[in-house]
């Protein structure tokens, strides 16, 4: 009797934990590890197969702390004529025609007390893939790095004596 009670308690605790775990992602997981996006955009096709430069769309990455998402008009620059017969492209066109922004789901998120500057890292010559992983192979983008401070610091530590772009170990550079 007591054993049964204990099993029930264990079982329900585990179930609650599982629910809590999955609910925390308030988004459905897509085909791969990343979240399902409103349009099934594939970096594998654009960055991989077509070999487009990351900065073609995310042009803010070398000019600003924030690597921007491309405006919908940038997508339409090609997709007014390119593969307009695909259902996903028609979704895109529909957004554009309605004058509606696409509600992309955030993949990378830093807490408010972390200030990351894309421009400094891109201009120092780091490839996007250094942090974002093999995006050109990702059909669905997922969070590649652990995105914890230790991961940032390990790279900074390696580059402390980088002759051209010495990295800093100064906390306040990111936390201010």
Q: Quick check: 29 binds another protein (CB under 8 A)?
A: no
Q: Quick check: 94 binds another protein (CB under 8 A)?
A: no
Site residues for another protein, window 64-93 (CB under 8 A)? Answer: 64-66, 68-74
- The most distant pair of C-alpha atoms in the chain lies apart, rounded to whole Å, by 70
Nearer to another protein, 23 or 85 (CB): 23
Q: How many residues does the chain have?
A: 176
Q: Quick check: 148 binds another protein (CB under 8 A)?
A: no
- State how far the Cα of 29 lies from the Cα of 35, in Å rounded to an integer: 5
Q: Quick check: 28 binds another protein (CB under 8 A)?
A: no
Q: Quick check: 43 binds another protein (CB under 8 A)?
A: no
- State how far the Cα of 96 lies from the Cα of 73, in Å rounded to an integer: 8
Q: What residues pair up with 29 in beta bridges, in sequence order?
A: 35
Residue 129's CB is within 10 A of a number of other CB atoms, namely 14
Candidates 143, 71, 139, 72; CA nearest to 106 is 143
Q: Quick check: 150 binds another protein (CB under 8 A)?
A: no
Q: Quick check: 96 binds another protein (CB under 8 A)?
A: yes
Among positions 51, 87, 111, 146, the unique one binding another protein when judged by CB under 8 A? 111
Among positions 31, 51, 81, 113, the unique one binding another protein when judged by CB under 8 A? 113
Q: Quick check: 32 binds another protein (CB under 8 A)?
A: no
147 backbone φψ class: left, alpha, beta (φ>0; ψ -120 to 50): left
- State how far the Cα of 8 lies from the Cα of 34, in Å rounded to an integer: 34
Q: Tell me the three state secondary structure of residue 154.
A: helix
- Shortest reach from residue 53's CB to another protein, in Å: 17
Residues that bind another protein (CB under 8 A): 1-3, 5-6, 9-10, 13-14, 16-18, 20-21, 23-27, 35, 60, 63-66, 68-74, 96, 99-107, 109, 111-115, 117-120, 123, 157, 160-161, 166-173, 175-176
């Amino acid at each position: 009797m007591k054993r049964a009670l204990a099993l029930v308690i264990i079982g329900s605790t585990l179930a609650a934990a599982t629910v809590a775990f999955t609910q925390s992602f308030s988004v459905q997981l897509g085909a791969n590890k990343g979240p399902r996006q409103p349009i099934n955009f594939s970096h594998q096709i654009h960055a991989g197969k077509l070999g487009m430069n990351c900065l073609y769309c995310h042009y803010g990455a070398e000019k600003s702390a924030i690597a921007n998402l491309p405006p919908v008009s940038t997508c339409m620059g090609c997709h007014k004529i390119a593969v307009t017969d695909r259902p996903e492209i028609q979704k895109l066109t529909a957004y554009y025609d309605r004058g509606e922004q696409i509600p992309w789901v955030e993949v990378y998120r830093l807490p408010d007390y972390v200030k990351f500057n894309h421009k400094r890292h891109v201009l120092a010559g780091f490839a996007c893939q250094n942090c974002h992983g093999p995006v050109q192979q990702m059909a669905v983008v997922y969070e590649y790095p652990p995105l914890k401070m230790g991961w940032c610091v390990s790279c900074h530590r390696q580059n402390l004596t980088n002759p051209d772009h010495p990295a800093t170990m100064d906390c306040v550079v990111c936390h201010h």
